[in-house]
Chain A
Amino acid sequence: MPSTNDWINNPLGVVEEMFGKIQVETLPHDSYNTVPSLNDVPLHYLKPNSLVKFRCLIQDMFDPEFYMGAYDTVDPSTKAKVLRCGKYKDVTECGVDLDSANMVTSERQTFYCVPIPGESPWVKEISSCARVVPSTSYVPSRQKRSYEDDDEDDMDTQPQAQGTPAAAEAQGNGDSKRQETEAPSGQKASSPPLDLNFPLPGEKGPACLVKVYADWDSFKLNDTMEVYGILSVSPALSALSDQSDTSSSLILDPAECMETAEELRVHSPPASLVPRLHLIHTQRLAHNNPLLPPAALEDTLASTLGEMVSVRAELLAYFTQLLLGDVLAAEYLLLHLISNVYARRDVIPLGKFTLNLSGCPATAGPAYTEQLYCALQQLVPSAYRLSMTLQNMNQLRLVPRKDYVANRLLSGALQLAANTSLYLDETQLEQGQLDPAGVRNITALGNVISWQKVDYDFNYHQMEFPSNINVLIASEGRSLLPSDCHVHLQPQVTPPNMEAYLGSALTAQSSSQLNKFRLYLTMARTLDYSISEEVTKAVEDDFVDMRKDDPQSISADDLHSLLGVARLLCLSLGQSALSTDAWSRAKHIETLRKSRSEPQGCLNGNEP
Chain B
Amino acid sequence: MSSPMSTPGGKRGRPSNPSTRNEAATSPPAQRRRGQPSSNGDLPLMPTSPPTDMPDPLQDTSLFSSPPHLHHFLPSEVDMSSPLMYGTPSSRVDGTPRSGARGTPARQRPDLGSVRKSKQVDLQSEPSAADGAAAAEQPAGQRLVIWGTDVNVATCKEKFQRFLQRFIDPSSKEDENSCLDLNEPLYMQKLEEISIVGDPVLNINCGHVSSFDAELYRQLVCYPQEVIPTFDMAVNELFFERFPDSILEHQIQVRPYNALKTRNMRSLNPEDIDQLITISGMVIRTSQLIPEMQEAFFQCAVCAFSARVEVDRGRIAEPAVCRNCNTTHSLALIHNRSMFSDKQMVKIQESPEDMPAGQTPHTTVVYAHNDLVDKVQPGDRINITGIYRAVPMRVNPRQSNVKSVYKTHIDVIHFRKTDEKRLHGQDDENEQRLFTEARVQTLRELAAKPDVYDRLSSALAPSIYEHEDIKKGILLQLFGGTRKDFSQTGRGNFRAEVNILLCGDPGTSKSQLLQYVFNLVPRGQYTSGKGSSAVGLTAYIMKDPETRQTVLQTGALVLSDNGICCIDEFDKMSDSTRSVLHEVMEQQTLSIAKAGIICQLNARTSILAAANPVESQWNPKKTTIENIQLPHTLLSRFDLIFLMLDPQDEAYDRKLAHHLVSLYYQSEEQLEEENLDMAVLKDFIAYARSYIQPKLSEEAGQALIEAYVEMRKVGSGRGMVSAYPRQLESLIRLAEAHAKVRFSDKVETIDVEEAKRLHREALKQSATDPRTGFVDISILTTGMSATARKRKEEITAALKKMLQSRTKTPVMKFQQLFDDLRGQSETAITKDQFEEALKALCDEDYLTISGKTIRLAT
- A608 CB-CB contact with B under 8 Å: yes
A131 at the interface (CB under 8 A from B): no
Query: Provided the pairs A251-B315, A346-B516 are in contact, do residues A221 and B358 lie with their beta carbons within 8 angstroms?
Result: yes
B396 partner residues in chain A, CB cutoff 8 A: 236, 242, 245
Q: Which of B33, B293, B313, B616 contacts A604 (CB 8 A)?
A: B616
Give the docked Cα–Cα distance between A221 and B358 (Å): 6
| Chain B residues within 8 Å of chain A by Cβ, number | 100
The CA-CA distance from A463 to B360 in the complex, in Å, is 9
User: Are B657 and A606 within 8 A (Cβ)?
Assistant: no
- Are B367 and A254 in contact (CB-based, < 8 A)? yes
Residue of A nearest to B648 (CB): A551
CB distance A96 to B402 under 8 Å? yes
**In the docked arrangement, what's the CA distance between A245 and B396, Å?**
8
Contact of B465 among A350, A536, A556 (CB under 8 A): A556
Most buried by B among A65, A66, A92, A563: A66
B84: shortest Cβ distance to chain A, in Å?
16
Interface string of B300-344 (1 = CB under 8 A from A): 000000000001011110100000000000000100000000000
Within the complex, which residue of A99, A258, A560 is in contact with B365, where a contact is CB–CB below 8 Å? A258
Provide the bound-state CA to CA distance between A548 and B391, in Å.
74
Contact of B314 among A91, A254, A439, A607 (CB under 8 A): A254
B287 partner, pick from A219, A257, A350, beta carbons under 8 A: A257
Name the contact of B519 in the complex, choosing from A347, A405, A548, A560 (C-beta under 8 A). A347
Q: Is A592 an interface residue (CB 8 A)?
A: no
Q: Is the CB of B318 within 8 A of A567?
A: no
Residues on B with C-beta less than 8 A from A195 are none
Contact at A544–B657, with CB atoms within 8 Å?
A: yes
A250: interface (CB < 8 Å): yes
- Tell yes or no: A89 within 8 A of B by CB: yes
A506 in the interface, Cβ–Cβ < 8 Å?
no
Please measure, in the bound complex, the distance between the C-alpha atom of A466 and the C-alpha atom of B126, giving whole angstroms: 55
CB <8 Å contact, B400 and A94:
yes
B285: Cβ under 8 A from any A Cβ: yes
Shortest Cβ distance from B397 into chain A, in angstroms?
7
In the complex, the answer to whether B32 meets A346 with C-beta atoms within 8 Å is no
Whether the Cβ atoms of A66 and B390 lie closer than 8 Å is yes
Cα A90 to Cα B403 with chains together (Å): 6
Min C-beta distance of A438 to chain B, whole Å:
12
The verdict on A103 contacting chain B, using a C-beta distance below 8 Å, is yes
Contact A346 B314 (CB under 8 A): no
Measured CB to CB, the nearest residue on chain A to B647 is A551
| CB of A252 closer than 8 Å to a CB of B | yes
Q: How far is the CA of A458 from the CA of B367 in the complex (A)?
A: 23
Q: Can you name the residue of chain B whose Cβ is closest to the Cβ of A566? A: B664
How many residues of A are in contact with the other chain, CB < 8 A?
92
Q: Which candidate, B34-42, B176-184, B481-489, B838-846, is the interface stretch facing chain A?
A: B34-42
Cβ contact within 8 Å between A100 and B35 = yes
The reply to whether A63 and B364 contact each other, CB–CB distance below 8 Å, is: yes
Q: Are B402 and A404 in contact (CB under 8 A)?
A: no
**B512 partner, pick from A105, A347, A531, beta carbons under 8 A:** A347
Q: A171 interface residue, CB < 8 Å from B?
A: no
Q: Which of A532-561 contact B (CB under 8 A)?
A: 536, 539-540, 543-544, 547-548, 551, 555-557, 559-560
A557 touching B507, Cβ below 8 Å = yes
Q: Are the CB atoms of A103 and B35 closer together than 8 Å?
A: yes
A461 at the interface (CB under 8 A from B): yes
Q: Closest residue to A112 on the B side, CB-wise?
A: B360
Contact code string A269-287 (vs B, CB < 8 Å = 1, else 0)? 0000000000000000000
A253, B314: Cβ atoms under 8 Å? Answer: yes
The answer to the question of B789 belonging to the interface, with a C-beta cut-off of 8 Å to chain A, is: no
Q: Is there an interface contact between B360 and A60, defined as CB atoms closer than 8 Å?
A: yes
What 1/0 flags go to A88-132 for Cβ under 8 Å of B?
Answer: 011111111011110101110000000000000000000000000
Say which one of B405-413, B695-703, B757-765 lies at the interface with A.
Answer: B405-413
A306 at the interface (CB under 8 A from B): no
In chain B between 215 and 250, which residues have their CB closer than 8 angstroms to a CB of chain A? none
A contact residues around B122 at 8 Å (CB) = 99
Structural contact, A548 and B650, CB atoms closer than 8 A? yes
Contact with B35, one of A60, A98, A409 (Cβ below 8 angstroms)? A98
Q: Which residue in B409, B511, B664 is a CB contact (below 8 Å) of A608?
A: B511
- The answer to whether B650 and A547 have CB atoms under 8 Å apart is yes
Contacts of B311 in A (CB 8 A): 252
Task: Please indicate the chain A residues that have their CB under 8 angstroms from the CB of B531 in the complex.
Answer: 439, 443
Whether B830 is near chain A, meaning CB under 8 Å from some CB there, is no
Q: In the complex the two chains form, is B36's CB within 8 Å of A105's CB?
A: yes
> Given the complex of chains A and B, what is the CA–CA distance between A461 and B404 in angstroms?
34
> Provided the pairs A350-B663, A556-B507 are in contact, do residues A257 and B290 lie with their beta carbons within 8 angstroms?
yes
A62 to B345, CA, bound (A): 19
Give the residue name and chain of the B residue nearest to A100 (CB).
B35
Given A254-B367, A257-B345, A458-B361; A607-B404 close (CB under 8 Å): no
- B813 on the A face (CB < 8 A): no
Indicate with 1 or 0, residue by residue over A222-234, a CB within 8 angstroms of chain B CB atoms: 1000000000001
A 329-367 binary contact with B (CB < 8 Å = 1; else 0): 000000000000001011110100000000000000000
Contacts of B400 in A (CB 8 A): 94-95
Residue of A at shortest CB range from B668? A343
Q: Provide the A61-98 mask, 1 if CB < 8 A to any CB of B, else 0.
A: 10111111001000000000000001001111111101
Write the nearest CB–CB distance from B383 to chain A, whole angstroms.
Answer: 17
**B459 to A, closest residue via Cβ:** A346
Closest to A86 in B: B404
Is A451 an interface residue, CB under 8 A from the partner?
Answer: yes
| Contact between chains at B665 and A531 (CB < 8 Å) | yes
Q: Is the CB of A536 within 8 A of B661?
A: yes
Residues of chain A with a CB closer than 8 A to B661's CB: 531, 536, 539-540, 563
Q: Give which listed residue, A63, A67, A105, A343, contacts B273 with CB less than 8 A.
A: A105
**Chain A nearest CB: distance from B76 CB in Å?**
22
Is B461 in contact with chain A by the CB < 8 A criterion?
A: yes
Residues on the B chain within 8 Å of A60, using CB: 360
Checking B30, B358, B662 against A466 with a beta-carbon cut-off of 8 angstroms, the contacting residue is B358
- In the assembly, what is the distance between CA of A155 and CA of B245, in Å? 86
Docked-complex contact A236 and B399, CB < 8 angstroms: yes
Nearest opposing residue in chain B for A84, CB measure: B404
Closest-CB distance, B131 to chain A (whole angstroms)? 15
Nearest-neighbor residue (CB-CB) of A559 within chain B = B660
A500 to B24, CA, bound (A): 81
Does chain A have a CB within 8 A of B658? yes
What residues of chain B lie closer than 8 Å to A219, measured between beta carbons?
359
Are B408 and A66 in contact, CB atoms less than 8 angstroms apart?
yes
CB distance B347 to A255 under 8 Å?
no
- Given the known A-B contacts A91-B402, A555-B646, are A105 and B270 also in contact in the complex, defined by CB atoms under 8 Å? yes
Q: Are A346 and B360 in contact (CB under 8 A)?
A: no
A150 at the interface (CB under 8 A from B): no
Within 8 A of A (CB), among B399-452: 399-409
Q: Is B405 within 8 A of A556, CB to CB?
A: no
Taking a contact as CB atoms closer than 8 A, the residue among A61, A101, A405, A560 that contacts B126 in the complex is A101
Bitwise interface map of A from 498 to 514 toward B, beta carbon under 8 Å scored 1, else 0: 00000000000000000
Q: Is the CB of A346 within 8 A of B36?
A: no
Q: For residues 568 through 608 of chain A, which have their beta carbon under 8 Å from a beta carbon of chain B?
A: 578, 604, 606-608
Knowing that A255-B391, A256-B394, A556-B507 are A-B contacts, what are 10 other residue pairs whose CB atoms are under 8 Å apart, sorted by A's residue number? A66-B390, A90-B403, A94-B400, A99-B119, A343-B668, A463-B352, A531-B664, A547-B648, A556-B465, A567-B664
| Shortest beta-carbon contacts, A-B, top 9 | A220-B358, A345-B463, A543-B657, A253-B314, A105-B270, A99-B35, A531-B665, A540-B657, A66-B406
Please give the residue numbers on chain B whose beta carbons come within 8 Å of chain A beta carbons, in ascending order: 29-30, 32-37, 119, 121-122, 125-126, 268-270, 273, 282, 284-285, 287, 290, 292-293, 311, 313-316, 318, 333, 345, 347, 349, 352, 355-365, 367, 378-379, 390-394, 396-409, 461-463, 465, 506-509, 511-512, 515-516, 519, 531, 616, 646, 648, 650, 653-654, 656-658, 660-665, 668, 671, 678
Q: List 20 A-B contacts (CB under 8 A).
A: A65-B405, A66-B270, A66-B408, A68-B404, A92-B402, A98-B29, A105-B34, A105-B36, A107-B269, A220-B359, A245-B396, A404-B285, A407-B347, A536-B662, A548-B650, A551-B648, A557-B507, A560-B660, A563-B660, A606-B507
